[in-house]
Structure 1
Amino acid sequence: MSKIALVTDSAAYLPLDILEQYNITVVPLMVNFGNDSYREGFDITSDDFYVRLASEKALPTTSQPVVGELVTNFERLLKTHDSVIAVLLSSGLSGTVNSAETAARMVGGDISVIDSKITAWGQAYMVLEAAKLREEGLSKDEIVSRLLQLRDQIGAYFVVDSLEHLHRGGRVSGVSAMLGSLLQVKPVLRVNDGKLEMFEKVRTRKKALARVIELMHEKVGTDGKLHASVVYSDVKADGEAFLAQMQDAFPEAQLELTQLGPVIGTHVGPGLLAVIYAIR
């Protein structure tokens, strides 16, 4: 049986015990406050990030792993494994996939780079599926094929608290951000073909969350099997409350609660609530 190494990046936000259990290598993305740079998941916790974000005037920046770091990891893993599968943050949100593809060409060997076209729990879901399939003894090509099928079943809806971070990141105009603030508009975003895009603008946060539940009902229908995560950024209590609403709406669903980390949090800001789902 061939030995298959699994690689992901920090935007999957997998906890350390899971990484160790399944022997998954994580390549960190960077978040930068001025001259201070931190490896996501290694040098700064999500809670510490949001505390600092609230006190900083300038929006932090983020950066993808450098090609050399990916080369080092691929070379190290191929010394003890026959092949590598890297499941990475959507290429529509980061250049990590492009860097990994460059590194794979430089290293040679049997390396498959998969664009998850998602982030956070959706990306983690694909990584864990790969780990389980590996334990079942599937080949690298079989695992890759299954992951590409799974990718088409994963999606997400995000409700952001403010348009400010989207505006500062170039997602909406300054006029839209100002009007959104005055009118208390809560944008509902979705991930479409790996890119985060505006889906609807809803008056009030309560109505926006209700709209997400409505959209999920449209997705699942009466026969769909839903496995999903309610994702929060900085306020866990809000995540728990929305999780309870989701559990009431989908009593048969398998639901989790997870936190969004610094890199994606930089672009959507505090106060986020989201549903990332897989329909099997």
Structure 2
Amino acid sequence: MPVALVADSTAQLSVATAADRGITVVPLNVVVDQEVHEEGVDGASPEFVAQALTEHRAVSTSRPVPAVFEELYARLAAEGADEIVSVHISGEMSGTLESAQVAARTAPVPVHVVDTRQVGPATGYAVLSAADVRDAGGSGEEMARAARARAEGASSLFYVDTLEYLRRGGRIGAAAALLGSALSVKPLLTISDGKVATAERVRTSSKALARLADLAVEAAGDAPVDVVVAHLANPERAQGLADVLTERLVDGLEGREVMLSEISAVLGAHVGPGMVSVCVAPRA
């Protein structure tokens, strides 16, 4: 294992994918009524978070502390890693990156910490691109470079029923939340320079989903792409969007499926039930 590859749970990599590709996943935490739950199949799930939010329970999230990464990096080095590439959610959105950076300073082997400046599947595709380079014999530096390039080229777009959850978590300004409520608009959001930004505003949820598809097609252009549609407690609308994109992006998909999944529980805590997102990631 000359180069070990680490990701965090917000990258939405399945247990099977992580195992098959040799990726170690560090869980973030969901805190419900002051009780801490690790994100994962045996901990905080998207369904768990959606129910807690619907019941108006106190829901927040927390990052893994530096000691978690310190122990992991030391273990991977002891298992034979000469280098480590650690790929994470935007540092503007989570302190996870900072924890990894702190741990990297005292790690027994070089650690390349990558700020994808993305969230969710866009981070996941960055991790998988790093794995592709490693499997082809590339170095840690080359893996990190590939991860950054894939993340930079990706587009993350999402629809939320309300900006209130983002406001509560400090991920978007309170003024934007008030504006959306006052005008009864349905905001379409994106990730720009590592932060949540407004893409467009539309008047109804049906128009929002149709416009989300348009924006995804524009982002794809003529390039070969990977596409993921994710949701929190909104499977029917997510499936509808996936079906539309399957038809409209048939050339760029080149026979690949539009992947459909639930969003990470940690990310779901900040966007709320009803969210539908699409990630378009051009292939190298």
TM-score (norm 2): 0.91
In the alignment, structure 1 residue 93 sits paired with structure 2 residue 96: no
1:201 Cα shift?
1.5
- Contact conserved, 1:11 with 1:119, CA < 8 A, in 2? yes
- 2:259 counterpart SS class: strand
What is the rounded CA distance, in whole Å, between the counterparts of 2:38 and 2:94 in structure 1?
15
Task: Please say if residues 31 and 38 of structure 1, whose CA atoms lie closer than 8 Å, have aligned partners that are also in contact.
Answer: yes
CA drift at 1:269: 0.8
Deviations, residues 143-173 of structure 1 (Å, cap 9, x unaligned): 2222222222112111101122123234243
Q: Does structure 1 residue 76 correspond to structure 2 residue 67?
A: no
Helix, strand or coil: the match of 1:102?
helix
SS of aligned partner of 1:26? strand
| 1:76-112 Cα distance to aligned partner (Å, 9 max, x none) | 0011211100011111110111111110002242110
CA separation of 1:143/1:180 partners in 2, compared to 1, >3 Å: closer, same or farther? closer
Unaligned runs of 5+ in 2: none
Give the RMSD, CA atoms, in angstroms: 1.8
The one-character-per-residue Cα deviations of 1:48-102 (angstroms, maximum 9, x if unpaired) are 22122211343x1111110111100000001121110001111111011111111
Distance in 1 between the 2:17 and 2:169 partners?
32
1:274 is matched by which residue type in structure 2? S
Q: What SS does the aligned partner of 1:106 have?
A: coil
Mapped partners of 2:150, 2:26: distance in 1: 23
| 1:29 corresponds to | 28
Is contact 2:77–2:108 with CA below 8 Å preserved after alignment?
Answer: no
Partner residue, 2:282: 279
Aligned equivalents of 2:190, 2:95: Cα separation in 1: 20
Q: What's the TM-score, normalizing by structure 1?
A: 0.92
Instruction: Indicate the residue corresponding to 2:163 in structure 1.
Output: 163
In the alignment, the residues of structure 2 paired with residue 155 and residue 245 of structure 1 have an alpha-carbon distance, to the nearest angstrom, of 18
Matched, 1:256 2:255: no
Deviation, 1:235, is 2.3
The answer (yes or no) to whether the contact 2:126–2:146 under 8 Å persists in 1 is: no
- Give CA deviations for 1:90-144 in whole Å, capped at 9, x if unaligned: 1111011111111000224211000111121111111112222222212222222
Q: How does 1:1-280 map to 2 (within 5 A)?
A: 3-41=2-40, 42-58=42-58, 60-79=59-78, 80-170=80-170, 171-173=172-174, 177=177, 180-181=180-181, 183-221=183-221, 223-252=222-251, 253=253, 254=256, 255-280=258-283
**Percent pairwise identity:** 33
| Alpha-carbon contact 1:160-1:268 (below 8 Å) kept | yes
CA contact (8 A) 1:121 1:258 kept: no
**Runs of 5+ in structure 1 lacking a partner?**
none
Q: Distance in 2 between matches of 1:215 and 1:19?
A: 30
